[in-house]
Amino acid sequence: MKMVHLFLALWLQLLGYGWAGMFRKYLVDSPHMWWPSNLIQVSLFRALHEKEKRLNGGKTRLQFFAIVCVSSFAYYVLPGYLFPSISTVSFICWIWKDSITAQQVGSGLNGLGIGSFGLDWSTVAGFLGSPLATPLFAILSTMAGFSMMVYIILPIAYWQNAFESRRFPMFSQETYDGAGQVYNVTRIMNERGFDLDVVGYDGYSKLYLSAVFAIGLGFGFAALMAAITHVALFDGKSIWEHWKKTTGEKNDRSIDVHTRIMRRNYEVVPRWWFMATMIIPFALSFLAIEGFGKQLQLPWWALIMACAFAFAFTLPAGIILATTNQYIAQMIWTDVIVDLLIGYIYPGKPLANVVFKSYSSVSMFQALDFLSDFKLGHYMKIPPKSMFLVQIAGTLVGSAAQFATAWALISNIDNICDIEKLPVGSPWTCPGYDYFYSTSILWGVIGPHRVLDNGVYSILKWFFLIGALAPFAIWLLARRFPNKKWIESVHVPIIFSGAYGILPARPVHYLSWAAVGIFFNYYVYRKYKGWWARHTYILSAALDAGVAFMAVMIYFTLQSKNVYGPVWWGLEADDHCPLAKCPTVPGIFVDGCPAFHITLNHF
Ligand SMILES: *[C@@H]1O[C@H](CO)[C@@H](O)[C@H](O)[C@H]1NC(C)=O
């Protein structure tokens, strides 16, 4: 096992906890920073731990949880082992078995997904989070972005052959060369230094993306800019006021009841505990990066830059999260800006790119999680010192265990993540990591300069401008028609990030997620409000738990011993639309696809 990887994982997780302590006063003690997502957890804990009287023969919430959890556990044998095809049903492809176009329209995984659905909780909640815990307006905004992307922009761009995209699958998160084959990264990498071989690159091909990948990146840029303008226009004033009140708190009277109880009963965590959790992991990271023969490619100044960057962004991201529950700004900030930044300043080094990205985003996420958990402890009256120690211990054990698991999987499973070579019925397809890998090739090896400044994709830069301006349009409309309240709830950043999230999620995930979410948060919410309020969050947690237990059980009892389900049509974890991934221009030849005959004279 390579120590450098384990060290990196451990120090990375701890680093952010250190500076979380610096922001405690502002983000935890202040009553104005109320962390909405914590309230859901508080209600779940109360349901599971408080004594409850049965209402005239009905069930307690704990009984409800148990029943749903066991049912979900039992059902997951089907999608998880015997019948994985049930996770993506795309019946248009069953009808038109020979038509590329029909399969591109009907495929739930590699096409527009019309009429596709999945009878599997992991299809519903695996990529986009639980729809039951997502407010209706956010579901509708996300679906507006999805529909705009998948039903308007993507078909037009694809069938007009924008970015030469008809040479490639319409939906794919892989990277391609000009001949329509998967990009052969070996040909552009120096073996010795593991960096870009410019001569090799010039002699090979530009890097191409599928239509959905390219446009999705554009929407990532747009969503980032839109988040900034939107927050400034719509939430700026209230965030600023909360902030002024938070920093202006001098006397005890403005402190809320939670803070007063906490201060009376418990000792606060001393500042040096936090200092130590910041300085020790930083020093060790420094050693990990400079030592080990500099395998990680990242120079020391970039490590400092990554940390400084994450530190500076923790407070604004924390204020937005704690007052509006918007994760988007920070997600896209780290996904897009960090990639571009290190890609511009230090191109051609894929590992440096990934390490920089991890340091500047994971540490910030950890800081925010830590603060959020402190606030949960604040609401639930947990002594802060115990909270701190338990979190640190949990993080160390958790990341070591996760690391060991990941390592064991990588070393024991042949062809892990290579869908073509895995046995049928194998669960190890890794959609999220695939996407991470492709973006690290795109921004880390080839670099944003080659892609955005003189590549096929330079037009994507305009999405920054579109994103920055779009919220203005809504803001102006809202001022023009002040009595139409719904205009203000049009949330441009969520719309754009709905379009951006299309990879690695796929249309079938969006459609199933939205169907369940709208059913519960519109229909059930309207008609059976009492039931909804009592059960929805618990339902979601119970379904998750059932799926997770069964997945682990199947793995340890069967799949880890290479015992897969009986071979039949339904064992493929696929939507049975083989032609949806085919190119649609002449001259490109891909295995398993019909060749287009050259009919045009000038070709
Ligand atoms: C990629 O390129 C390398 C070096 O030219 C070659 O050895 C290898 O076979 C290629 N791989 C594929 C899949 O074409």
Tell which wins on pLDDT, 352 or 235.
Answer: 352
Rounded average pLDDT over 265-285 = 90
Assign 116 to helix, strand or coil.
strand
* pLDDT of 291 higher than 70: yes
Question: Residue 489 has which token pair?
Answer: 């709830």
Of all protein residues, the one whose alpha carbon is nearest to atom 11 of ligand 1 is: 184
Q: Calculate how far, in angstroms, residue 186's C-alpha sits from the geometric centre of ligand 1.
A: 6
Please report the atom of ligand 1 found closest to the CA of residue 182: 13
CB atoms within 10 A of CB 204: 15
Q: Calculate how far, in angstroms, residue 116's C-alpha sits from the geometric centre of ligand 1.
A: 37
Span of 16-20, 160-164, 224-228 with lowest mean pLDDT: 224-228
pLDDT recorded at residue 250: 60
pLDDT recorded at residue 315: 83
- The secondary structure element, H or E, covering residue 56 is none
- pTM (2 d.p.): 0.86
For 594, residues 6+ apart whose C-beta sits below 8 A from its C-beta are: 100, 579, 582
**3-state DSSP of 244-309:** HHHHHCCCHHHCCHHHHHHHHHCCCCCHHHHHHHHHHHHHHHHHHHHCHHHCCCCCHHHHHHHHHH
Give the phi and the psi of residue 176 in degrees, each rounded to 5.
Answer: -130, 160
Mutate to test the pocket of ligand 1, among 174, 175, 187, 420 (most ligand atoms within 8 A of CB): 187
Span of 76-85, 412-421, 466-475, 492-501 with lowest mean pLDDT: 412-421
End-to-end CA distance of the chain: 54
Assign 76 to helix, strand or coil.
coil
pLDDT recorded at residue 296: 80
Tell which wins on pLDDT, 328 or 292.
Answer: 292
Closest listed residue to residue 87, CA positions, set 329, 523, 391, 425: 425
pLDDT recorded at residue 603: 39
CA-based max dimension of the chain: 86
* pLDDT of 326 higher than 70: no
The rounded distance, in Å, linking the Cα atoms of 66 and 482 is 48
- Residues 480-489 pLDDT 10s: 998 888 888 8
pLDDT recorded at residue 600: 45
Burial bucket for residue 456 (CB in 10 Å: 0-12, 13-18, 19+): middle
Rounded average pLDDT over 224-240 = 82
Question: Residue 279 has which token pair?
Answer: 């300085």
pLDDT recorded at residue 249: 61
Residues lining ligand 1, CB < 6 A?
184, 186-187
- Whether 7 and 286 have beta carbons less than 8 Å apart is answered as no
The rounded distance, in Å, linking the Cα atoms of 162 and 148 is 17
Closest listed residue to residue 9, CA positions, set 440, 435, 362: 362
Tell which wins on pLDDT, 385 or 34.
Answer: 385
Closest listed residue to residue 322, CA positions, set 277, 378, 363: 378
Rounded average pLDDT over 286-306 = 85
For 76, residues 6+ apart whose C-beta sits below 8 A from its C-beta are: 120, 121, 122, 546, 547, 550, 551
Q: Calculate how far, in angstroms, residue 51's C-alpha sits from the geometric centre of ligand 1.
A: 65
CA angle 60, 61, 67 (to 5 degrees): 95
* pLDDT of 451 higher than 50: yes
Question: Residue 367 has which token pair?
Answer: 């800081």
Rounded average pLDDT over 545-558 = 92
Mean pLDDT of the residues in the chain: 86
- Residues 193-219 pLDDT 10s: 788 998 999 999 888 999 999 999 899
* pLDDT of 80 higher than 80: yes
Q: How far is CA 262 from the centre of its chain?
A: 35
Q: How confident is the model at residue 1 (pLDDT cuts 50, 70, 90)?
A: very low
pLDDT recorded at residue 155: 95
pLDDT recorded at residue 515: 97
* pLDDT of 56 higher than 70: no
pLDDT recorded at residue 252: 52
The rounded distance, in Å, linking the Cα atoms of 86 and 487 is 39
Tell which wins on pLDDT, 41 or 462.
Answer: 462
* pLDDT of 601 higher than 50: no
For 458, residues 6+ apart whose C-beta sits below 8 A from its C-beta are: 452
Closest listed residue to residue 548, CA positions, set 59, 139, 135, 130: 130
Tell which wins on pLDDT, 526 or 410.
Answer: 526
Assign 183 to helix, strand or coil.
coil
Q: How confident is the model at residue 251 (pLDDT cuts 50, 70, 90)?
A: low
Q: Calculate how far, in angstroms, residue 185's C-alpha sits from the geometric centre of ligand 1.
A: 8
* pLDDT of 254 higher than 70: no
Closest listed residue to residue 562, CA positions, set 380, 423, 374: 423
Tell which wins on pLDDT, 420 or 513.
Answer: 513
The rounded distance, in Å, linking the Cα atoms of 187 and 204 is 7
Mutate to test the pocket of ligand 1, among 177, 181, 184 (most ligand atoms within 8 A of CB): 184
Rounded average pLDDT over 173-202 = 88
The rounded distance, in Å, linking the Cα atoms of 522 and 518 is 5
- Residues 327-363 pLDDT 10s: 666 666 677 788 888 888 888 888 888 889 888 888 8
Tell which wins on pLDDT, 426 or 200.
Answer: 200
Assign 208 to helix, strand or coil.
strand
Q: Calculate how far, in angstroms, residue 180's C-alpha sits from the geometric centre of ligand 1.
A: 15
Q: How confident is the model at residue 477 (pLDDT cuts 50, 70, 90)?
A: very high
Cis peptide before 504 (omega within 30 of 0): yes
CB atoms within 10 A of CB 199: 10
Q: Look up residue 549 and give its amino acid.
A: F
Closest listed residue to residue 343, CA positions, set 453, 447, 457: 447
Q: Calculate how far, in angstroms, residue 370's C-alpha sits from the geometric centre of ligand 1.
A: 45
Q: Calculate Rg over the CA atoms of the chain.
A: 25
